Amino acid sequence: MNKKSLFIPEKLDAPKLHKRFYKAVSVVPDEDGFAIALDGRQLKSPSKRPLVFPTQALADVVAQEWDAQAEHIVPTSMPLMALMATAVDRIGPERVVVTEQIAAYGGSDLLCYRAEGPADLVALQAKAWDPWLTWIAEDVGASLRTTAGIIHVQQPDAALEAITKAVDLFDDNRLSALSIITAMGGSVVIGLAFLQGQITAAKAYEAVTVDEAYQETTWGVDAEAAARRAGIRAEFLAAEHFLSLLPSRDQ
């Protein structure tokens, strides 16, 4: 599957900035959880669906994002709102499709494509990635093949099926976090390890940017590449914050 066709998390992008149209932001009880009210009117998702937060802690943080807006509303400054909107507008209505799109990264996972050289980069990739390929084989039952270079390697059907089952175990909110980690990092292996609490956001970021860090060390800082890496790190940390505010999976 062409990665350009894969699910991309909702980013709340708008063609232009809209002026702040509200004064007061509050969190109010809802029969299914908590809602946010702007000047007393309940906030809905970008697609006009009910926006209900499972915990007051998450509603409080998203309310703070709305309250922090100045003269104009800047969607990119509200990462937790974006994750919640993704769960409601994109994942809920198309859960089966989204699950398949996330799992499809297993067919061309970043961790399976290794450099042919130089030797120090090959060693860095192995150190950063081999433990997670071992983990997904042992804990998820997905043994993935690796290759050197860019030639596509066909992954076993059983491995891809195991990854799909693992992805489908998460609720819509957690799938929202998994989708952005997987899409931005290019690795459903790291995404699943992160969602299962095996790796922190900071370590996950380091794992998926091994090549970029090596290039920076070797050739110096490239402003565009550095900005891209900073964006990935910010999204990973936002996903971690979002997950910390959800009810435990046992609830």
Domains of the chain with CATH codes: 95-244 (1.10.3580.10)
Predicted model pTM: 0.91
| Alpha carbons 168 and 191: distance in angstroms, whole number | 13
pLDDT, residue 17, reads 76
Strand pairing report for 72-73 and 18-19 = antiparallel
| Alpha carbons 113 and 150: distance in angstroms, whole number | 7
Residue 173 contacts residue 249 (beta carbons within 8 Å): no
Q: What is the pLDDT along the chain (251 residues), one digit of tens a residue?
A: 333 333 334 444 444 678 999 999 999 999 999 999 999 999 999 999 999 999 999 999 999 999 999 999 999 999 999 999 999 999 999 999 999 999 999 999 999 999 999 999 999 999 999 999 999 999 999 999 999 988 999 999 999 999 999 999 999 999 999 999 999 999 999 999 999 999 999 999 999 999 999 999 999 989 999 999 999 999 999 999 999 999 998 66
pLDDT, residue 16, reads 64
pLDDT, residue 14, reads 45
pLDDT, residue 77, reads 95
pLDDT, residue 18, reads 87
Own/partner long-range contacts of 49-57 (Cβ < 8 Å, ≥24 apart): 49/88, 49/89, 49/92, 50/88, 51/84, 51/85, 51/88, 53/84, 54/173, 54/246, 54/247, 55/245, 55/246, 55/247, 56/27, 57/245
C-alpha separations of 21 from 35, 49, 69 in Å: 18, 20, 10
